[in-house]
Chains A and B, each alone.
Chain A
Amino acid sequence: MAGLNEPRTHRRIDMNENENKIADFNRRDFLKGGSAATLLTMLGGVELFAQTNAAPAEAKAAGPKLRIAVIGLGTWGREIVNTLARLPKAEVAAICDTYPASVRRSATAAPGAAQTEDYKTILDNKDIKAVVIATPTHQHKDLVLAALKAGKHVYCEAPLANSIDDARAIAATAKAAKQVNFQAGLQFRADPQRHFLVPFIRSGAMGQSLMARAQFHKKQSWRQVSPKPEREKELNWRLSKETSAGLVGEIGIHAIDQATWFLNAQPVAVTGFGSLALWKDGRDVFDTVQALVEFPGGVFMNYNASLANSFDGEYEMLYGSDAAVMMRESKAWLFKEVDSPLLGWEVYARKETFYQETGIALVANASKSVPANPQASAEAAITSTPLAYALTTFLKNSADLGAAVEDALAVIGPDDPEQLAAQIAKVPRLPAPGYLEGFQATVLAIKANEAIQAHQRIELKKEWSELS
């Protein structure tokens, strides 16, 4: 049975208790002929997780690495450098920031990378095939457009931009640049754990969609300090209305976009509220926000985020008439209604308890003979994050597209753009958020922020998120 044989990688001791219960209870249940519903209630929450190919770190570094540069080395940019440095298919060729201290700090993770304060040296370097743009949001557009023009594959952090016009410019340019790969930093969309959930949810296993909920609670200031006032203003771009779409733009965009993905629908309206409750330090961006996103068919999503309280951290939920699904970090659990049909596999699945609810682990391709979970290790902790999966997908799609373009140019020649385009269109790609998903998510986040700032309901016009 999968639950008994899995390695003891989980920190929670109730897992062991549950596993013993599974063994005992199944024997008793079999003997007594007890109901499956009783079984599930007794056994605790069941975890959902994708049994993917092993974590990227385990793949041998076969074949060439993609030479990639990171532009923008703030907290998240450095996280990207750390992650890339551990991915077998990446060679961090250059790191760039206008602030020298940030460049030096990032060099520890990527000692072989060229260090520069001028992004143009990266774009002029023909050996560097891809760039990650992780600068403050309001600086994305110029960099992305220049990188695409220079023929680089581009990973642009989400939100794409702070204005719909800028986001549209990025998306339109990416759309036209057929010979390079563009991926938006909506890392949930490249996460195999979540990919597994999409068909599961769409299969109707949850019954009728009712509502969605997500939260981000983390008590933190977001303010960074610097002895130089100019630098301090730069560092704190997130705290100014001019340069930041606030919590919903920088954080909520992922959860809200995920809901559009799972529900397979664009919202029709968004209502928002917010306040500066705790961090009254001169910022004009709210530290506590609420947004209600309306989907077609009477389905609503409630999003709240706060920098003033940490209870229960960050998670997303989707509610259906037969079950609810909770997603936390890279894990997911199914909570079944007592009267919902038995799917069958959940009898053997691992379970966990949340509050007083039992969650069933959702495991893609689970079988009793396959180990339930890769061994946790320090490497896996870094290389199994949604960001690691997103970057791995970007590296693969970029490398494959780059090779296909090179080969097509060599075989067909450059003088027949129609044929080249036809050839390039055939290149298989791993699922990833492209320019359209990035653009639509950005528009939604910008409008949600507007609603929050004005304490208003905004009806979302279709043409705002359409690309011609």
Chain B
Amino acid sequence: MKLRTLIAGNLALLLLAGLSVQAADEATRFYARAGSKLRLEGTSNIHDWQVESSLIGGYLEVGPGFPVEPGQAAAPGKVQAQAEPFVMVRSLKSLEKDGKPYSDRMDEVMYEHLKAQDDQKARITFHLADLTLKEPAKSKDAPYVFEAKGDLVVGGVTNQLTMPVNILPLGDKKLKVTGATSVKMTDFKIDPPAPKIALGMIKTGDDVKVSFEWMVGQRAAPAAAK
């Protein structure tokens, strides 16, 4: 091999190595965006109920090699990731099945049981501890299937949770994180609400289905000052 080519090749390798070393140290942070949804579904002796919030705050920070582009190659196994999504309790609103607002009274009972009546800043938070890639995406339009382990904090009470989570890179530095799980109110020391109404008493079921769709994206660097 000619010397010039050798040097050029080695330089290129060094540059690449330099770049990947830089990338290896860099985590990427994705911030909450509009378009998210947290949905809680439950039962009672009168009717099923549903509650939603359209704002999930917080961030997701991932290490290098994490699939952030559609169809990016990724090997199954534990990944470097940190996340602290949260929902403001006051943003949770009860809905009819068709999505129209359901009842202020039910909302107030809910806020009371979530200890948010007097605390306007009360949150439901999830602290991600572990994220493991189970299945890489089967195509550019398909999500990566993960298993997430972490702590869910509701009304100041913490419970560990493991749930399947799908992450779909949308391109343009955006990700859609979806998942679902079931929890029991009593696990969070919440007595299922039993408010009195004209007809007697509503007895809420202990089991609550939780599903979410969390939209996150990288923020543009602030414009340089003139």
State the CA gap A9–B205 with chains docked (Å): 38
Within 8 A of B (CB), among A413-447: 413, 415, 419-420, 422-423, 426-428, 430
CB-nearest residue of chain A to B197:
A370
Q: Assess the B57–A53 pair: CB atoms within 8 A.
A: no
Please encode chain B, from 159 to 181, with 1 for each CB lying within 8 Å of some chain A CB and 0 for all others.
00000000000000000000000
> Which parts of B69-100 form the interface with A (CB within 8 Å)?
88, 90-91, 93, 95, 100
A412-B105 in contact (CB<8A): no
Do residues A53 and B55 form an inter-chain contact, with CB atoms below 8 A? Answer: no
User: Which residues between 371 and 410 of chain A lie within 8 Å of chain B, taking CB atoms?
Assistant: 371, 396, 400, 403-404, 407-408, 410
- A422 vs B32: C-alpha distance when bound (angstroms): 13
Q: In the complex, which residues of chain B have a beta carbon less than 8 angstroms from the beta carbon of A412?
A: 32-34
Residues of A within 8 A of B54 (CB): 423, 426-427
Which of B34, B93, B112, B118 is the most central at the interface, judged by chain A CB atoms within 10 Å of its CB? B34
B35 contacts the other chain (Cβ, under 8 Å)?
yes
Verify if B44 is at the interface (C-beta below 8 Å from A): no
A406 shortest CB reach to chain B, Å: 9
In-complex Cβ contact of A63 among B34, B56, B117, B198 (8 A) = B117
Complex interface bits, B206-225 against A, C-beta within 8 A gives 1, otherwise 0: 00000000000001001000
Q: Give the distance in Å from the alpha carbon of A340 to the alpha carbon of B57 in the complex.
A: 56
Query: Does B111 make an interface contact (CB < 8 A)?
Result: yes
**Chain B residues with Cβ under 8 A from A371's Cβ?**
198
Instruction: State in angstroms the CA–CA spacing of A430 and B29 once bound together.
Output: 37
B199 close to A (CB within 8 Å):
yes
Q: Does A60 count as interface, using CB distance less than 8 angstroms?
A: yes
In the docked arrangement, what's the CA distance between A426 and B54, Å? 7
Q: Specify which chain B residues have a CB less than 8 angstroms from the CB of A63 in the assembled complex.
A: 108, 111, 117-118
- A415 partner residues in chain B, CB cutoff 8 A: 222
Closest partner residue, chain B, to A408 (CB atom): B55
What chain A residues lie within 8 Å of B9 (beta carbons)?
none
User: Please, which residues of chain A bring their CB within 8 A of the CB of B56?
Assistant: 411
Interface size of A by CB at 8 A reads: 28
B18 within 8 Å of A (CB atoms): no
Partner of A370, one of B112, B199, B222: B199
Contact yes or no, B101 A369, CB < 8 A: no
Asked if B104 and A407 sit within 8 Å, CB to CB, the answer is: no
B198 touches A419 (CB 8 A): no
Q: Which residue of the partner chain A has the closest CB to B86?
A: A411
CA distance A428 to B103 in the complex (A): 12
**What interface size band does chain B fall in?**
20 to 34
With A62-B108, A62-B117: A407-B35 Cβ-Cβ less than 8 Å: no
Residues of A within 8 A of B31 (CB): 413
With A and B bound together, what is the CA distance between A169 and B173 in angstroms? Answer: 41
In the bound assembly, the distance between CA atoms of A369 and B33 in angstroms comes to 47
Contacting residues of chain B (186-206) with chain A, CB-CB under 8 angstroms: 198-199
B120 at interface by CB-CB < 8 Å: yes
| CB-nearest residue of chain A to B93 | A428
Given contacts A407-B88, A412-B32, A423-B55, is CB(A428)–CB(B101) below 8 Å?
yes
A422 to chain B, nearest CB (A): 4
Inter-subunit contact A430/B101 (CB<8 Å): yes
CA distance in complex: A247, B201 (Å): 49
Task: List chain B residues, Cβ under 8 A from A403.
Answer: 88, 90-91, 120
User: How would residues 28 to 53 of chain B score, 1 for a CB under 8 Å from any chain A CB and 0 otherwise?
Assistant: 00011111000000000000000000
Q: How far is the CA of A423 from the CA of B219 in the complex (A)?
A: 17
Q: How far is the CA of A412 from the CA of B217 in the complex (A)?
A: 10
Asked if A407 and B57 make an inter-chain contact with CB atoms under 8 angstroms apart, the answer reads yes
Distance A411 CA – B32 CA, assembled complex (angstroms): 7
CB atoms of A410 and B57 under 8 A apart: yes
Report whether B198 and A370 are in contact in the complex, using a CB–CB cutoff of 8 Å.
yes
**Separation of A396 and B101 alpha carbons in the complex (Å):** 12
Q: Of residues A62, A411, A412, A423, which shows the largest number of chain B Cβ atoms within 10 Å of its Cβ?
A: A411
- Bound together, the chains give a CA A63 to CA B56 distance in angstroms of 22
Residue of B nearest to A427 (CB): B54
Q: Does A229 contact B (CB under 8 A)?
A: no
Bound state CA distance, A94 and B13, in angstroms? 72
- With contacts A59-B105, A62-B108, A62-B112 taken as known, whether A428 is within 8 angstroms of B100 at the C-beta atoms is yes
Central interface residue in A59, A63, A371, A412, by most chain B CB within 10 Å: A63
Interface string of A55-90 (1 = CB under 8 A from B): 000011011100000000000000000000000000
Asked whether, in the complex, the Cβ of B108 is within 8 Å of the Cβ of A411, the reply is no
Known A-B contacts A59-B104, A419-B34, A422-B34; A64 and B57 likewise in contact (beta carbons under 8 Å)? no
Per the bound structure, the CA–CA distance linking A369 and B32 in Å amounts to 48
> Would you mind naming 26 contact pairs between A and B with Cβ atoms under 8 Å apart?
A53-B105, A59-B105, A59-B108, A62-B108, A62-B111, A62-B117, A63-B108, A63-B111, A64-B120, A369-B199, A370-B198, A396-B104, A403-B90, A403-B91, A403-B120, A404-B55, A407-B57, A408-B34, A410-B57, A411-B32, A411-B57, A413-B219, A420-B34, A423-B34, A428-B95, A428-B101
Q: Which 4 A-B pairs have the closest CB atoms?
A: A411-B57, A423-B34, A419-B34, A426-B54
